[in-house]
Amino acid sequence: MSWVDDTRAAWIAWMGGTTPPTDDQATRALELALSTVETWLDRPLELAERIQDDAPVHGVIRLRAWPVETLTTITVNGEALELTYVKLDKRTGRLVAPGCYYVSVTTTYTGGFDPMPADLELALWMVAAQLYPSTLSASGADMGQAVRRVTTPDVGTVEYATGTASEATADELLGGTVSPQVAGLLSRYRAESVVGGA
C-alpha cells in the first residue's frame, strides 16, 4: 500500500467538520500534496526501489531517497562494482564508492520513508488541507487554475487543468500554501539539507 492509502482515513478524521472529505477527494488532495512537497523538497519520499544515475566528481554519491534500506547494485561504466568496498551512511544516503571519479555510475537501491516521520506526515496533511478546496470543483478557482498533476519521479512538472505545462516552480506553487510552520517542518527533509546533503 502507498502512503496515501495508509493515511487517508486518519487524514479524513483529522479534517473533521460536518462534511468530511470523501475518499476520492482525500485521495486527490493527499496525492497532490505528496507530489508537490516532493517537488519542493527536490527528492522522493516514499519507500521504494530506486535506480539513480550519477557522474560523481570525488567518489561521493548522494542517494536521493534516504534513509536507505538496502543497496542492491552499483555499476561503473556498465561494470558491477564489488559492494564490500563501498561505504554507505544509510541515514543520509551518502555513498562513498572508490574509483568513482568522473565516470557513469548507476545505483540500484531501496530507500525512502515507511512509515513517514510524524513531523513530515503532519506537514503533508497540512498541505493537503490547503489544497483540498481545489478538489471540490473542476475550475479550482481557489488556486487560479486547477492543478491536475504534479509528477516527481526525480522532480517533475506542474500541469494545470488546461492541459498545459507550467514553468512555475514548486516554491511558487507552494508559496500560497506553505505556512512558516509547514516550511519549518519540511526544511530538514530538503535534498540540500544538512541531514541529506545533495
Distance of alpha carbon 2 from alpha carbon 181, whole angstroms: 26
Helix residue ranges per DSSP H, 42-169: 118-131
pLDDT for residue 51: 97
Dihedral angle over CA of 111, 113, 119, 123, nearest 10? 90
pLDDT for residue 1: 73
Nearest to 5 by CA among 22, 19, 23: 23
pLDDT for residue 5: 97
pLDDT in tens, 51-101: 999 999 888 999 999 999 999 999 998 899 999 989 999 999 999 988 788
Distance of alpha carbon 142 from alpha carbon 171, whole angstroms: 18
pTM here?
0.77
The percentage of the chain sitting over the pLDDT mark of 70, rounded to a whole number, equals: 75
Q: Cell 507552494 belongs to which residue?
A: 174
